Structure 1
Amino acid sequence: MVPILVVPEKQLNGDLIVKTFGGKKVLRRNDGGTTLPGEPLLELDGDQLLTRLRKIYLIPELDRMSPYLRYIVTLDSSHIFPVHFQSARGRQVLANERHSLHLVWYRDRIFVKPIAPYLLSAAFWEWIAEADQEVFKAVAGLMRTYTHLIQSEADYRLASDDRSPLLPLSTGKTTDDFEKFARFIDQFSRLADDELSPRYLYGELRLTRLNWLIRFLFIKVTFFHVDGEWGLIFMSLLAPLIAIFAVLSILLAAMQVGLAAEALSSTDAWQVYIGVCKWFSVVVLLATTVASAGLLAVMAGVLIHEQVFAYEKIHAPKGNDIKSGVA
Structure 2
Amino acid sequence: MHPVPFSKENALTSGYEDDPVSGHTLGTFPGYPLIPPGLDENGYIARQLDFSHIDEIAGWLWLAGWPYSIRPLHRQKTMQREVLITDSPQLHLVWRRSVIFVKPLPLFVLDHAFFENRISNSDSGLPPKVYDATLGFLLSYVKLIQCEADLKIAIDLGLFPSTCHITWKMWSLFAREVRDNVLELGLEGRWRYGELQSLRINSVYRLRHLTLKRLLPWDKTYKTALHDYFGWLLVVFVYLTVVLTSMQVVLATSAQPVTLDFQRTSFRFSVFCLVACAAALFGIGFASGAYFLWRLSENYRREMDSRRRREEYRKGSRP
TM-score (norm 1): 0.78
Question: 1:108-159: CA deviations, max 9, x gaps?
Answer: 3322111111111123332223132212222221111111111222222222
Whether the aligned pair in 2 keeps the contact of 1:119 and 1:125 (CA below 8 Å) is yes
Q: For 2:222 and 2:72, how far apart are their aligned partners in 1?
A: 34
Whether the aligned pair in 2 keeps the contact of 1:214 and 1:222 (CA below 8 Å) is yes
Question: Is residue 2:112 matched to residue 1:122?
Answer: yes
Corresponding residue for 1:149?
A: 144
Whether the aligned pair in 2 keeps the contact of 1:94 and 1:109 (CA below 8 Å) is yes
Whether the aligned pair in 1 keeps the contact of 2:139 and 2:178 (CA below 8 Å) is yes
Q: For 2:215 and 2:13, how far apart are their aligned partners in 1?
A: 38
Corresponding residue for 2:82?
A: 92
Mark the CA change 1:37 to 1:82 in structure 2 (over 3 Å): closer, same or farther.
same
Equivalent AA in structure 1 for residue 261 of structure 2: V
Match of 1:293 among 282, 293, 296: 282
Whether the aligned pair in 2 keeps the contact of 1:149 and 1:155 (CA below 8 Å) is yes
Match of 2:102 among 86, 100, 112: 112
Equivalent AA in structure 1 for residue 129 of structure 2: E
Corresponding residue for 1:172?
A: 165
1:100 Cα offset (Å): 1.5
1:295 Cα offset (Å): 0.3
Q: For 1:40 and 1:221, how far apart are their aligned partners in 2?
A: 30
- Root mean square deviation of aligned Cα: 3.0
1:233 Cα offset (Å): 2.6
Whether the aligned pair in 2 keeps the contact of 1:5 and 1:125 (CA below 8 Å) is no
SS of the residue corresponding to residue 36 of structure 1 reads coil
1:289 Cα offset (Å): 0.8
**Paired residues for 1:128-277 under 5 Å:** 128-129=119-120, 130=122, 131-161=126-156, 164-173=157-166, 177-189=167-179, 190-193=181-184, 195-217=186-208, 218=211, 220-221=213-214, 223-225=216-218, 227=219, 229-261=221-253, 264=255, 270-277=259-266
Equivalent AA in structure 1 for residue 195 of structure 2: E
Q: For 1:113 and 1:168, how far apart are their aligned partners in 2?
A: 11
User: What count of residue pairs does the alignment treat as equivalent?
Assistant: 293
Q: Which has the higher contact order (CA 8 A, sep 6+)?
A: 2
Equivalent AA in structure 1 for residue 301 of structure 2: E
Corresponding residue for 2:70?
A: 80
Whether the aligned pair in 2 keeps the contact of 1:214 and 1:223 (CA below 8 Å) is no
Runs of 5+ in structure 2 lacking a partner? 17-23, 311-319
Q: For 1:170 and 1:204, how far apart are their aligned partners in 2?
A: 28
Whether the aligned pair in 1 keeps the contact of 2:15 and 2:114 (CA below 8 Å) is no
Equivalent AA in structure 1 for residue 75 of structure 2: F
Q: For 2:183 and 2:261, how far apart are their aligned partners in 1?
A: 74
Percent identity (aligned)? 27
Corresponding residue for 1:4?
A: 4
Mark the CA change 1:152 to 1:208 in structure 2 (over 3 Å): closer, same or farther.
same
Mark the CA change 1:235 to 1:311 in structure 2 (over 3 Å): closer, same or farther.
closer
> Relative to total residues, which structure has the larger strand share, 1 or 2?
1
Q: For 2:236 and 2:214, how far apart are their aligned partners in 1?
A: 22
SS of the residue corresponding to residue 54 of structure 1 reads helix
Q: For 1:39 and 1:2, how far apart are their aligned partners in 2?
A: 24
Q: For 1:213 and 1:318, how far apart are their aligned partners in 2?
A: 25
Q: For 2:214 and 2:269, how far apart are their aligned partners in 1?
A: 44
SS of the residue corresponding to residue 171 of structure 1 reads coil
